[in-house]
């Protein structure tokens, strides 16, 4: 099926796992106090704690009924994130202010332009989309917000448009304008459609599953006010797709590789030296594509988007190259923060199985990359005879705008990109070796243990043990007679991990919990309980609890709905 939403954050979608891994590494270096925020209780709606868990515990994802389980499973299937949690969170929830302290005292120009926020969506989860809208209404000064334009690109979820429309009318959200395309257009043409309906001086494109943070719009608008050819992006904070926890991202900029895939990378050495550097705009060779602001007239002057591109992919590199090569500039603005749900995958397939990413990338290569396009073509032998449509009007545009050539772009804007030559390969190896070194301290990092105990099934003498040797990754868990010795001792860390014999972490797997390398990213390795006797042990990502199959030796330990206490009640024995 054709979709628009799938085009969002193509680069991020594909790269999100790697990105999260590298973020994880950054987190070890950057000292954030408030990285994993616990939701204040006033953030919850129609929520009701299980008696098995402490009341103040973060049990937002708790699955209490088969209906909960159904909602959650269906949500993952359609949206690739936890809609059960989204349904329970307030539309007006507060999120941690992740800005650098220096941003908080900044005073901005007082003649900032008004923005039209444009959000295109395809089959978005209604409540998540509404939270996006509410965050904008709640955190944008009204004199800077012309309107919020929602474009439904022919979603096929029944009643999505209707319910959204009803909500907007009922809540009297006069600034929110809902449109619908006549047929599935895809990201690029849906955005053009939204842009043409807009009346603000600035266009601010956003993804449909985000939450904007405090003071997000002022620094973006100020950069555009200073110079209208500045195209600006917020820092994209992380909303965990399983738990909806909001955490800060480090300052990473956009790059790409010769397969024309977007990637995140460190700003060049020397960019972040002084304290002020952390709040100054950072030049970025490319954008991820989902979130950026641009002066509307400038957007039109430089040729909007390539409307010949289909559905998704490549448009972010196209507009990035065009901005830089034709006299503009693309910047990350660290004082502007917007949280984004990094979904587990793009939940929608390609239309008719067509590779629109390749089609669009070929258009980018042939219009903008001069002879450097061969590096891309060499990587993609399947591209040789692949049709990419008519590009004559885009070539004409490039000529009219008197743009620099691609060699200029590589020399002046992205000298860090190694060419796929021998020297380039050598550099790449050197880099990846460096990256590996960088990961070392994280693995060697000392964990903070806060408790230790064996986990005994209540009213039994059976303890949770590893099926295989405690050093073997992927081992399942069973009940065995409790005995002394470290093989049954779980060490609890300050991040709520349970580490058996200080070796491997308890992790929620597809069906059953397993032992796995600790990744320090919470979610499937994050466990909650009320301590002491007769407690449930609840996993934050799964929303379910640790449970035995039956009360006998060698019974498997699995994950079950928490409100069934029969085989899911444990004593923590110290
Ligand atoms: C909690 O749930 C129970 C049963 O589902 C219900 O009877 C009770 O009224 C709920 N409490 C609140 C405060 O919503
Ligand atoms: C969110 O807050 C606004 C006021 O800031 C209020 O009008 C609205 O009813 C709230 N919505 C929800 C769902 O709490
Ligand atoms: C639309 O609203 C109806 C009635 O409240 C509800 O049953 C249905 O699930 C809603 N659908 C969506 C997609 O929100
Ligand atoms: C207990 O569960 C295990 C699987 O975990 C099964 O092999 C065994 O037959 C069960 N024992 C009883 C007594 O039901």
Both 201 and 280 in a single domain? yes
Last residue of a domain, one of 88, 111, 136: 88
Cβ(556) to ligand 4 under 6 A?
yes
Q: Assess whether pLDDT exceeds 70 at residue 47.
A: no
Cβ(552) to ligand 4 under 6 A?
yes
3-state secondary structure 330-384: EEEEEEEEEEEECCCCCCCCCHHHCCHHHHHHHHHHHHHCHHHHHHHHHHCHHHC
What residues flank ligand 3, with Cβ below 6 Å? 126, 157, 159-160, 163
Task: For residue 567, give the DSSP letter.
Answer: T
Distance 130 CA to ligand 2 centre (A): 11
- Averaged pLDDT for residues 22-27: 38
Q: CB 300: neighbour CB atoms within 10 A? A: 13
438 in a domain, yes or no? no
Nearest ligand 3 atom to alpha carbon 127: 14
* pLDDT per position as a tens digit, 86-119: 999 999 999 999 999 999 999 999 999 999 999 9
95 in a domain, yes or no? no
Q: What is the pLDDT of residue 430?
A: 61
* pLDDT per position as a tens digit, 387-414: 999 999 999 999 999 999 999 999 999 9
Q: CB 26: neighbour CB atoms within 10 A? A: 17
* Interacting residues of 203 by C-beta distance below 8 A, sequence separation 6+: 115, 116, 118, 195, 293, 294, 295, 296, 299
Cβ(41) to ligand 2 under 6 A?
no
Cβ(92) to ligand 2 under 6 A?
yes
Q: Assess whether pLDDT exceeds 80 at residue 5.
A: no
361 in a domain, yes or no? yes
Q: Which backbone phi and psi does 197 adopt, to 5 degrees? A: -85, -10
The ligand minimizing its distance to the Cα of 563 is 1
Spatial separation of the C-alpha atoms in residues 352 and 349, rounded to whole Å: 9
Both 377 and 526 in a single domain? no
Q: Assess whether pLDDT exceeds 60 at residue 295.
A: yes
List the domain range (segments joined by +) for residue 523.
443-573
As to burial, measured by CB atoms within 10 angstroms (0-12 exposed, 13-18 middle, 19+ buried), residue 71 is middle
Both 109 and 65 in a single domain? no
Residue to mutate, 92, 170, 174, ligand 2, most ligand atoms under 8 Å from C-beta = 92
The CATH code of the domain that includes 493 is 2.80.10.50
Cβ(149) to ligand 2 under 6 A?
no
Q: What is the pLDDT of residue 170?
A: 97
Q: What is the pLDDT of residue 444?
A: 42
Instruction: Give the three-class secondary structure for 523.
Output: helix
Name the more confident of 142 and 433.
142
Of 216, 256, 260, residue with least CA distance to 236: 216
Report how many helices (DSSP H) and strands (DSSP E) the chain contains, helices first.
Answer: 15, 24
Spatial separation of the C-alpha atoms in residues 24 and 436, rounded to whole Å: 14
Q: What is the pLDDT of residue 44?
A: 53
436 in a domain, yes or no? no
Exposure pattern of 307-336 as b/e (b: 16+ CB <10 Å)? ebbbbbbbbbbbbbbbbbbbebbbbbbbbb
Closest protein CA for atom 5 of ligand 3: 163
525 in Cβ contact with 533 (< 8 Å): no
Exposure pattern of 474-491 as b/e (b: 16+ CB <10 Å)? ebbbbbbebeeeeebbbb
Q: What is the pLDDT of residue 485?
A: 85
Instruction: Classify the C-alpha dihedral 486-526-509-545 as positive or negative.
Output: positive
DSSP, residue by residue, 274-289? STGGGTS-EE-SB--S
Q: What is the pLDDT of residue 57?
A: 44
Both 216 and 120 in a single domain? yes
Q: What is the pLDDT of residue 362?
A: 96
Cβ(550) to ligand 4 under 6 A?
yes
Spatial separation of the C-alpha atoms in residues 545 and 135, rounded to whole Å: 32
Which stretch of 57-66, 86-95, 155-164 has the lowest confidence by average pLDDT? 57-66
Residue to mutate, 547, 549, 559, 567, ligand 4, most ligand atoms under 8 Å from C-beta = 549
93 in a domain, yes or no? no
Cβ(163) to ligand 2 under 6 A?
no
The CA–CA distances, whole Å, from 242 to 79, 93, 198, 507 equal 11, 17, 34, 14
User: Structure tokens of 330?
Assistant: 């693309």
Q: pLDDT band at residue 418, thresholds of 50, 70 and 90?
A: confident
Q: pLDDT band at residue 36, thresholds of 50, 70 and 90?
A: very low
Q: What is the pLDDT of residue 540?
A: 84
Name the more confident of 236 and 348.
236
Both 427 and 479 in a single domain? no
- Averaged pLDDT for residues 200-222: 98
Both 250 and 387 in a single domain? yes
462 in a domain, yes or no? yes
Q: pLDDT band at residue 312, thresholds of 50, 70 and 90?
A: confident
Name the more confident of 258 and 33.
258
307 in a domain, yes or no? yes
* Interacting residues of 534 by C-beta distance below 8 A, sequence separation 6+: 458, 569, 570, 571
Show the CA angle centred on residue 501, arms to residues 500 and 503, nearest 5°: 75
* pLDDT per position as a tens digit, 171-192: 999 999 999 999 988 889 999 9
Distance 174 CA to ligand 2 centre (A): 14
Both 161 and 122 in a single domain? yes
10 in a domain, yes or no? yes
Distance 116 CA to ligand 4 centre (A): 61
Both 240 and 334 in a single domain? yes
Q: Assess whether pLDDT exceeds 50 at residue 437.
A: no
Q: Assess whether pLDDT exceeds 80 at residue 17.
A: no
Q: What is the largest CA-CA distance in the chain?
A: 81
Number of domains in the chain: 3
Both 308 and 405 in a single domain? yes
Both 316 and 402 in a single domain? yes
Q: pLDDT band at residue 445, thresholds of 50, 70 and 90?
A: low
* pLDDT per position as a tens digit, 315-363: 999 999 999 999 999 999 999 999 999 887 777 655 677 788 999 999 9
The CATH code of the domain that includes 264 is 3.90.550.10
Last residue of a domain, one of 67, 88, 109: 88
User: Structure tokens of 171?
Assistant: 């809540």
- Averaged pLDDT for residues 299-313: 92
* pLDDT per position as a tens digit, 245-290: 898 888 899 999 999 999 988 888 888 888 889 999 999 999 999 8
Last residue of a domain, one of 431, 464, 495: 431
The terminus-to-terminus CA distance of the chain in angstroms comes to 55
Name the more confident of 153 and 564.
153
Mean pLDDT of the chain: 85
The ligand minimizing its distance to the Cα of 462 is 4
Both 541 and 568 in a single domain? yes
Closest protein CA for atom 9 of ligand 4: 555
Nearest ligand 3 atom to alpha carbon 160: 13
Q: Assess whether pLDDT exceeds 60 at residue 41.
A: no
* pLDDT per position as a tens digit, 356-377: 899 999 999 999 999 999 999 9
Both 224 and 276 in a single domain? yes
């Amino acid at each position: 099926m054709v979709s628009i939403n799938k085009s969002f954050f193509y680069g991020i979608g594909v790269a999100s796992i790697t990105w999260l891994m590298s973020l994880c590494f950054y987190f070890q270096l950057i000292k954030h106090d408030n990285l994993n925020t616990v939701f204040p209780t006033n953030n919850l709606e129609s929520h009701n704690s299980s008696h098995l868990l402490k009341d103040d515990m973060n049990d937002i994802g708790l699955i209490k009924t088969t209906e909960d389980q159904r909602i959650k499973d269906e949500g993952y299937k359609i949206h690739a994130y936890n809609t059960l949690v989204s349904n329970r969170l307030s539309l007006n929830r507060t999120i941690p202010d992740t800005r650098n302290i220096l941003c908080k005292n900044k005073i901005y120009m007082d003649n900032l332009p008004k923005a039209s926020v444009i959000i295109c969506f395809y089959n978005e989860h209604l409540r998540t989309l509404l939270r996006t809208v509410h965050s904008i209404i709640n955190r944008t000064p009204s004199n800077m917000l012309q309107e919020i334009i929602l474009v439904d690109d022919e979603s096929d979820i029944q009643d999505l448009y209707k319910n959204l429309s009803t909500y907007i009318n009922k809540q009297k959200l006069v600034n929110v304008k809902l449109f619908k395309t006549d047929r599935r257009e895809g990201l690029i043409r849906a955005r053009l459609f939204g842009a043409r309906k807009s009346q603000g001086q600035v266009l601010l494109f956003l993804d449909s599953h985000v939450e904007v943070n405090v003071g997000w719009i002022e620094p973006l608008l100020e950069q555009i006010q200073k110079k209208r050819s500045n195209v600006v992006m917020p820092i994209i904070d992380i909303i965990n797709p399983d738990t909806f926890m909001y955490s800060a991202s480090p300052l990473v900029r956009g790059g790409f590789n010769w397969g024309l895939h977007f990637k995140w990378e460190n700003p060049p050495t020397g960019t972040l030296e002084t304290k002020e550097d952390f709040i100054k705009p950072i030049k970025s060779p490319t954008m991820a594509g989902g979130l950026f602001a641009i002066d509307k007239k400038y957007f039109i002057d430089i040729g909007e988007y390539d409307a010949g591109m289909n559905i998704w992919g490549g448009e972010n590199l196209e507009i990035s190259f065009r901005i830089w090569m034709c006299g503009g500039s693309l910047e990350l603005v660290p004082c502007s923060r917007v949280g984004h749900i990094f979904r587990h995958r793009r939940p929608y397939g390609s239309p008719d199985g067509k590779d629109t990413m390749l089609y669009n990338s070929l258009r980018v290569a042939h219009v903008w990359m001069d002879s450097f396009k061969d590096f891309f073509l060499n990587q993609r032998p399947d591209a040789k005879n692949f049709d990419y449509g008519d590009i004559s009007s885009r070539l004409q545009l490039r000529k009219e705008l008197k743009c620099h050539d691609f060699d200029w772009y590589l020399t002046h804007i992205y000298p860090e990109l190694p060419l796929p030559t021998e020297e380039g390969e050598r550099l790449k190896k050197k880099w990846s070796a460096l990256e590996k070194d960088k990961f070392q301290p994280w693995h060697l990092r000392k964990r903070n243990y806060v408790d230790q105990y064996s986990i005994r099934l209540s009213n039994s003498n059976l303890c949770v043990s590893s099926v295989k040797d405690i050093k073997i990754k992927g081992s399942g868990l069973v009940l065995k007679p409790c005995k002394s010795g470290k093989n049954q001792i779980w060490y609890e860390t300050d991040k709520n991990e349970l580490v058996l014999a200080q070796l491997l972490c308890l992790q929620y797997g597809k069906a059953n919990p397993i032992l796995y390398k600790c990744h320090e990213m919470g979610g499937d390795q994050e466990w909650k309980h009320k301590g002491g006797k007769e407690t449930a042990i609840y996993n934050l990502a799964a929303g379910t609890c640790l449970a035995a199959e039956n009360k006998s030796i060698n019974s498997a330990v699995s994950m079950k709905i928490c409100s069934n206490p029969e085989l899911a009640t444990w004593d923590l024995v110290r």
